[in-house]
Amino acid sequence: MEVVAINQISPDQVILFSWWFVTISATLLYTWLVMGVLVIGSILITGNLSSDPTMTRWQSVLEVLVETIRSEIRDVVKDDVDTYFPFIGTLFLFILFSNLFTFIPGYVAPTSSLTTTAALAIMVFFAVPIYGISKQGIIEYLKEYFRPTFIFFPFHVMGEFSRTLALAVRLFGNLMSHEKVIAILLAVTPLFFPVVMQVLGLLIGIIQAYIFAVLTIVYIASATQSHEEAEPQTKEPNSTNH
């Protein structure tokens, strides 16, 4: 069953319900599906958490997942892990499960829609300065745009936009192209080859989720830590004088 036709590039084009400007597309439907699975699964698993050394398998899986994300953030950010963890964790989990469910027949990953990836990238676009300002203050944060000299300001601004665009397009491009490739392959060689490509698709989905999350961590870290890294160099001579 093909939800998205081969000539449709995005699940946004599959309109399930439309009223005035409200259009419920396949993207939203599958987004809610992923959200539902994540939230209900979390409620079910965390409803009976154990703080003893022995625990259920599901709790163990979740703890490993959560600790892995925190560890990745800790490797880059060093401190305030729990400040960034909900945002980055949600990004990672949402993208990961959106991509993983592609093995379900009839499912279309919401991340294969440019609208979704653009929305996620825009949130990163706004999250980075919010974290940066909350951490450093607005003046220190804005100073970063004029370093090393004011000439670099337009390049910094362009960098912000281009990396947001890159985030959105990279995720969308990978997922969408993969779906199209599989659709084409199903038409050409319907027996064995699409299964291999499906497995490859799962791998690509995981990698893309990881790349999106890691890049977000790096952007946030660059916005929150640039000033802190420069500080020891200026303080060091004073400390040696004491």
Partner 1 sequence: MHIDWFVFFSQIVNFLILLFLLKKFLYGRIIGAIDARKAKIGALFAEAEQSRQDARTAAEDCERKRQDLEERYEQSLNEARREVETYRERLMEKAREEVDYLKVRWTEALRAERNNFLHELRQLAGRQIYAATRRVLKDLADLNLEERIVEVLLARIATMDENERGKFRGPAREGGTITVTCAFDIPTATQVRLNDTLHRYLSGDMDVAYVRSDDILSGCELRSDGHKISWSMKDYLDTIEERFYSALYEEAQERT
Q: Which of 5, 16, 49, 200 binds partner 1 (CB under 8 A)?
A: 49
Smallest distance, partner 1 to C-beta of residue 183, A: 18
- Give CA–CA dist 38/15, Å, rounded: 24
Q: Which of 4, 27, 84, 107 binds partner 1 (CB under 8 A)?
A: 27
The DSSP-derived string for 132-159 is: HHHHH-HHHHHHGGG-S-GGGHHHHHHH
Residues sharing a CB contact under 8 Å with residue 11, sequence separation 6 or more, in sequence order: 3, 4, 25, 26, 27, 30, 108, 110, 112, 113
Residue window 131-170: x/- pattern of binding to partner 1, with contact defined by CB under 8 A: ----------------------------------------
Q: Which two tokens stand for residue 75?
A: 């490797």
Residue 201 touches partner 1, criterion: CB under 8 A:
no
Q: Which of 66, 187, 199, 203 binds partner 1 (CB under 8 A)?
A: 66
Name which of 86 and 237 has its Cβ closer to partner 1: 86
Please confirm whether the linkage preceding 148 is cis (ω < 30° from 0): yes
Residues sharing a CB contact under 8 Å with residue 213, sequence separation 6 or more, in sequence order: 69, 72, 88, 91, 92, 95
Residues of this chain that bind partner 1 (CB under 8 A): 9-10, 12-13, 21-23, 25, 27-28, 31-32, 35, 38-39, 42-43, 46, 49-53, 55, 59, 62-63, 66-67, 82, 85-87, 89-91, 93-94, 110, 113-116, 118-120, 122-123
